[in-house]
Structure 1
Amino acid sequence: MRIVNRVLLALIGVLLVGAGAAVVAAALDLPARWGIPLPDGWSPRAPDDVLLTDADRTRWVGEGWWWPVVIGVLSLLVLLTAWWALTQFRRGRRRELPLGDEAEGADATVLRGAALEEVVTEEIESFPGVERARVVLDGGRRGSRLRAGVVLEAGARPGEVVRRFRTEALEHLRTSTGRERLPADLRVRSTRHAADRVE
């Protein structure tokens, strides 16, 4: 997502800078002052010209395909913009986790988030009474956080699963990543026990 954001922002920036430079150059009549020849269809060609003449704006209005194309393109732009905006506010899933508490920068050794999630999931599912588990490594504004959801088998002991998650799975993760503190949430689905949070 970071690469997509950078590409989109770069393209938007180039388009805005280019459009702004063209308008400023026409308003100051720079092409004429500097002797730069402009193409015949270039608009505006002088400070008093408009960006779109009446003929330009109404050229295709009478065509049957014009309005469906305009509405389709604008709808697509709105949907893409809405999708992009929503992804910015959605909780980010970390693709990589730097090893060590102070590991930052381009030279830091990193661990793939998917690999970490898979290993922790397998360890939790090996606990007695655990039917299945799902682990996600989030990367919000407050830093990395592990979120785990566990579904217990009938007759399982949630307290024992929580204890083993805290003393085994979480400690193994902190030791292997070189992090003294890695916040984690554990949600246990049980008919008689509420979800537990582990710090």
Structure 2
Amino acid sequence: MRAVLRIVDRVFLALVGLVLLVLGGSVLAVGLGAPVPSWWIHDDEHDVLLSDAERTRWQDESWWWPVVIAALAVLLLLALWWLVAVLRRRRLAEVLVDTGDGEGALVRGRAVEDALTQESAHIDGVGRAKARLTGRRSAPEARVRLALEPHVDPGAALHDFTAGPLTHARASAGLESLPAEVRLKGVKHGAERVS
């Protein structure tokens, strides 16, 4: 789902950027004396974007200002929501560990990620491993990428990961569950010259 949102976000940004670039560039070009395009909304470069009549057309209507303010408020809220979604941390900064005394302790998310990555890299047939934690600090989720050697059975590697590093991370953090999304990929070896 996040990949789809990321693609939609990039496409939306690209379209908005393209529209703003075309409009801004055409306004700048006409203002600097370039010929007025046929699709331009005014006749020449000395026209204003909104005349006095256009600006004051709806001013006396009782519904006009509440609609304008409501529309601008909705746009502001959407822009703030989008900004928060873009700036939100994707990586979990800390994990709440159950210490058994009812208090709990906070452990850096990076430390848990490093431990999970290092233990995963020691699984037989795993060339490289990379782990990231997402979610909430009381309910973390793991995203793991394992690069497998060509001779390794993916099912066996996944079982070894689940029974080993994932179980150890869950038990050491005192979590009831640690959901994980595991992506398996084959290691690409470069061609070697044989003489």
TM-score w.r.t. the length of structure 2 is 0.48
Question: Please, what TM-score do these two structures have when normalized by structure 1?
Answer: 0.47
